[in-house]
């Protein structure tokens, strides 16, 4: 599943090709992805794309009258192609520009979405979210206060979008390993000093993943088709049974909150 770094890489990749361009037409080859595709998106035809922003794992393509909200789901990707490039089986949405290019959305599993948001309005999918992890609002003091008395595991706590957005499974595992915090510890048991280090680590892990183009495991590829290279930097994720890069004990795999988790019982406590 594309996580925050992959979505941010997609935003950076498509923005130079789309910002300032006029939308000539929008084509839907399926009426429904995760949800039905709203016909209000057709209002964007003839509008100029002013900016492309990101909130959590949602991309927001903004114009003067409203925005398209795009989520890549589990297997979605975006490419900027020549408009006459033939569509393939899982190409579900085309946003054609007057400059002869097309933003094409491909999604084999159809768990992503395209939604409409009127200018000046909000959308339910963007509400009740915590701060972005790469902003100053995400800090140790904030997380320490949010976690007070919480018995939920620290891994589930940092993956909850109500606390902080976009810390997905891969990056939660990697960050907790680097911070030497066991993923099964209760969030309320993490000290303010440990939060200070963990927040710093999360920021560094995400920044490094973005710089290296995301993590390609199965489905994600960059806008230009090149894979992300952060997978080469993974220390524990997906490495059950391999030696820990620090102590050489074997990496273990556990289910935490229905997600596969990877850890070193020797290094993390």
Query: pLDDT digits over 183-218, tens only?
Result: 999 999 999 999 999 999 999 999 998 888 755 544
Query: pLDDT digits over 214-235, tens only?
Result: 555 444 445 565 545 456 678 9
Residue 147 near residue 139 (C-beta atoms within 8 A): no
Query: pLDDT digits over 43-88, tens only?
Result: 999 999 999 999 999 999 999 999 999 999 989 999 999 999 999 9
Residue 57 sits in the same domain as residue 154:
no
Residue 117 sits in the same domain as residue 183:
no
Q: SS3 of 111, please?
A: coil
Q: Which residue has the tokens 């159809």?
A: 110
Q: DSSP letter for 2, please.
A: -
Displacement of CA 120 from its chain's centroid (Å): 24
Catalytic residue numbers read 2-3, 57, 259
Residue 117 sits in the same domain as residue 145:
no
The number of beta carbons lying within 10 Å of the beta carbon of residue 74 is 15
Residue 88 sits in the same domain as residue 182:
no
Q: How far is the C-alpha of 214 from the C-alpha of 206, rounded, in Å?
A: 9
Would you list the DSSP string of 197-240?
HHHHHHHHHHHHHHHTT-B-SSS---TTSPPPBGGGG-SSTT-T
> What domain count does the chain have?
2
Residue 60 sits in the same domain as residue 113:
yes
Q: Is 150 annotated as a binding residue?
A: yes
96 belongs to a structural domain? yes
For residue 98 the two structure tokens come to 């007057």
pTM greater than 0.85 (yes/no): yes
134 belongs to a structural domain? no
Query: pLDDT digits over 234-254, tens only?
Result: 899 999 999 999 999 999 999
160 belongs to a structural domain? yes
Final residue in a domain of this structure, among 126, 154, 182: 126
Q: How far is the C-alpha of 56 from the C-alpha of 71, rounded, in Å?
A: 10
Report the CATH number that the domain containing residue 67 is assigned in CATH.
3.20.190.10
Q: Is 109 annotated as a binding residue?
A: yes
Final residue in a domain of this structure, among 95, 126, 157: 126
User: Residue 212: which domain range?
Assistant: 140-263
119: number of CA atoms within 13 Å, CB side? 11
Q: Is 90 annotated as a binding residue?
A: yes
Residue 9 near residue 210 (C-beta atoms within 8 A): yes
């Amino acid at each position: 599943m594309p996580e925050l770094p992959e979505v941010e890489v997609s935003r950076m990749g498509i923005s130079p090709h789309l910002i300032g361009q006029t939308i000539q037409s929008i084509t839907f080859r399926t009426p429904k992805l995760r949800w039905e595709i709203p016909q209000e998106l057709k209002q964007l035809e003839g509008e100029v794309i002013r900016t492309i922003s990101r909130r959590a794992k949602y991309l927001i393509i903004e114009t003067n009258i409203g925005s398209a909200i795009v989520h890549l789901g589990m297997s979605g990707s975006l490419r900027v192609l020549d408009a006459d490039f033939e569509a393939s089986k899982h190409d579900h949405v085309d946003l054609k520009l007057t400059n002869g290019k097309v933003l094409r959305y491909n999604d084999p599993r159809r768990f992503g979405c395209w939604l409409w948001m009127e200018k000046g309005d909000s959308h339910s999918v963007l509400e009740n979210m915590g701060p972005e992890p790469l902003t100053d609002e995400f800090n140790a003091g904030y997380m320490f206060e949010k976690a007070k008395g919480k018995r939920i595991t620290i891994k589930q706590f940092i993956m909850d979008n109500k606390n902080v957005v976009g810390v997905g499974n891969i990056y939660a595992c990697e960050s907790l390993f680097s911070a030497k915090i066991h993923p099964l510890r209760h969030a309320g048991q993490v000290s303010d000093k440990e939060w200070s280090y963990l927040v710093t680590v999360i920021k560094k892990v995400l920044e490094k993943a973005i710089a290296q183009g995301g993590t390609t495991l199965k489905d994600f590829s960059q806008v230009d088709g090149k894979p992300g290279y952060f997978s080469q930097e993974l220390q524990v994720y997906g490495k059950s049974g391999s030696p820990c890069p620090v102590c050489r004990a074997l990496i273990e795999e556990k289910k935490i909150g229905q997600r596969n988790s990877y850890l070193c019982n020797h290094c993390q406590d």
